[in-house]
């Protein structure tokens, strides 16, 4: 029991680090490097794009390896990998070196979602609540990136915002290896033996009942669409938040540290919505929650153009709440409908789409901001959120789940 709790804690801290290291550069670019390196905000965003491309494309092989080798072993690779690559970012002396280091960060950070979420779901009695708690840690990483970076900028310099999370991550990787040594080293041997006995393939133990196949196909199409659109909304909100607050909160947040604190507080409060969503996912189901959070985002994005000061902060609080509250819903649906033997691979495919959209969103954010400002971005996000609301309305009230396949009939004598 203690081991399971420590494992869940390390998985949660890993989610925190995953989002933190991926967003440190967003604050550094917005508040320091555009002056230090003489590049515009839009130009700096281009150097972050390869990292988010890696964040997407490496999710699929990460999930595939986890299903065929060791999910726990992949988590060790994750912790050590983002640790070393974050330290490389701290040592970067120009935009090209930074882009290479950010690519490495994205490559290792891609491991977490397909592997970490699979481990969370596998060990959960209440899937929705477990994903919600895990999601809160990830969201605190989103806000913590701006807070940590803002404080480091004002005290010890921006490289330390990459360096110290890297050191912590390496330490956590060693702790995870010590805790899960049996699962990392011993269990993969037994899995390989079982695969050899099955012709080189891991045995499949679950199936989806025939009556649910059409419903499953409809759910799959809705999940694919909402995954892509939700990723665009989430990336726009989280990556641009420090810059939005710098422009809109004049008189409220003037220094890098204050912008970081406001970003963190907004993310922390909005993260509490995931507890409510997680509870209701286990009771009311995903369709109801999808409709609520998508509708909330659409309304708030329509209200945001032209706002500044306290009103901008209040409305931003609500659309960030909607964006964060939406995160566990698709993961819940996948966790319920995917067979356990292929869950990490399916999560990997889901996050290839998610993080590919995240990467594409970066140049879109820079282009819209350079030509029309953030008001145009808010209008675009209002339309996309409304489309998610429409798609969610087509979800069934009941999500079909795989069943254990019946044993084969005994051969006739």
Report the CATH number that the domain containing residue 288 is assigned in CATH. Answer: 1.20.1250.20
Domain assignment present for residue 412? The answer is no
If we measure between CA atoms, which residue out of 59, 157, 35 comes closest to residue 108? Answer: 59
Which pLDDT score, from 0 to 100, does residue 184 have?
A: 83
Domain assignment present for residue 207? The answer is no
Task: Work out how many domains the chain is built from and give that number.
Answer: 1
Task: Give the list of residues 6+ apart from residue 261 with CB closer than 8 angstroms, or none.
Answer: 147, 150, 253
Which pLDDT score, from 0 to 100, does residue 413 have?
A: 46
Domain assignment present for residue 277? The answer is yes
SS3 123: coil
**Residue 39 φ then ψ, to 5°:** -120, 150
Domain assignment present for residue 204? The answer is no
Which pLDDT score, from 0 to 100, does residue 202 have?
A: 52
Task: Give the list of residues 6+ apart from residue 160 with CB closer than 8 angstroms, or none.
Answer: 90, 152
Which pLDDT score, from 0 to 100, does residue 209 have?
A: 59
Residue 20: alpha-carbon gap to chain centroid = 10
Domain assignment present for residue 145? The answer is yes
Cβ pair 75, 119 in contact under 8 A:
yes
Domain assignment present for residue 258? The answer is yes
If we measure between CA atoms, which residue out of 360, 339, 332 comes closest to residue 132? Answer: 332
Domain assignment present for residue 202? The answer is no
pLDDT tens digits, the chain, 413 residues: what are they? 788 889 999 999 999 999 999 989 888 887 888 888 888 877 888 888 888 888 888 988 998 888 888 889 999 999 999 999 999 999 998 899 999 999 999 999 999 988 998 899 887 777 778 888 888 898 788 778 888 888 888 888 999 999 999 999 999 999 999 999 888 876 665 555 555 555 555 555 555 555 566 788 888 889 888 888 888 888 788 778 888 888 888 778 778 788 888 888 888 888 887 788 887 887 888 898 889 989 999 999 999 998 888 998 999 989 888 888 887 888 888 877 777 777 778 888 877 887 778 777 878 888 888 889 889 999 999 999 999 999 999 988 777 776 655 545 545 54
Which pLDDT score, from 0 to 100, does residue 70 have?
A: 86
Domain assignment present for residue 410? The answer is no
Q: Output DSSP code: residue 404.
A: E
Structure tokens at 278: 């997680």
Cβ pair 63, 345 in contact under 8 A:
yes
Which pLDDT score, from 0 to 100, does residue 305 have?
A: 92
Q: What size, in residues, is the chain?
A: 413
Instruction: Tell me the residue range of the domain where 52 lies.
Output: 2-196+214-400
């Amino acid at each position: 029991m203690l081991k399971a709790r420590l494992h869940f804690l390390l998985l949660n801290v890993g989610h925190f680090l995953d989002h933190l290291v991926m967003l440190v550069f967003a604050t550094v670019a917005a508040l320091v490097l555009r002056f230090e390196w003489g590049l515009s905000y839009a130009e700096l965003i281009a150097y972050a794009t390869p990292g988010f491309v890696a964040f997407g494309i490496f999710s699929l092989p990460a999930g595939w390896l986890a299903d065929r080798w060791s999910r726990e072993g992949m988590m060790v690779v994750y912790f050590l990998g983002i640790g070393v690559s974050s330290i490389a970012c701290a040592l970067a002396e120009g935009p090209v070196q930074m882009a290479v280091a950010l690519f490495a960060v994205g490559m290792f950070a891609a491991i977490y979602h397909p592997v970490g979420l699979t481990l969370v779901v596998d060990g959960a009695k209440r899937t929705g609540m477990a994903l919600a708690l895990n999601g809160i840690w990830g969201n605190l990483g989103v806000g913590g990136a701006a807070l940590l970076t803002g404080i480091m900028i004002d005290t010890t310099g921006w490289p330390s915002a990459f360096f110290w999370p890297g050191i912590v991550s390496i330490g956590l990787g060693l702790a995870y290896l010590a805790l899960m040594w049996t699962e990392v080293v011993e269990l993969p041997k037994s899995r390989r033996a079982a695969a050899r006995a099955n012709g080189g393939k891991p045995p499949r133990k679950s199936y989806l009942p025939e009556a649910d196949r059409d419903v499953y196909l409809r759910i799959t199409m809705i999940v694919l669409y909402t995954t892509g659109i939700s990723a665009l909304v989430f990336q726009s909100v989280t990556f641009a938040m420090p810059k939005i607050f710098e422009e809109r909160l004049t008189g409220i947040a003037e220094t890098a540290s204050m912008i970081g604190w406001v970003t963190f507080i907004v993310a922390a409060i909005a993260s509490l919505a995931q507890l409510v969503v997680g509870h209701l996912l286990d009771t009311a189901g995903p369709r109801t929650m999808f409709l609520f959070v998508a509708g909330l985002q659409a309304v708030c994005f329509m209200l945001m153009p032209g706002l500044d000061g306290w009103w901008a902060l209040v409305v931003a609080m609500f659309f960030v709440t909607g964006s964060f509250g939406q995160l566990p819903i698709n993961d819940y649906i996948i966790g319920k409908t995917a067979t356990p033997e292929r869950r990490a691979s399916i999560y990997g495919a889901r996050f290839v789409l998610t993080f590919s959209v995240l990467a594409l969103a970066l140049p879109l954010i820079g282009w819209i901001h350079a030509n029309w400002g953030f008001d145009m971005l808010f209008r675009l996000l209002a339309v996309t959120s409304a489309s998610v609301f429409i798609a969610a309305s087509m979800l069934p009230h009941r999500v079909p789940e795989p069943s254990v396949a019946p044993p084969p009939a005994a051969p006739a004598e």
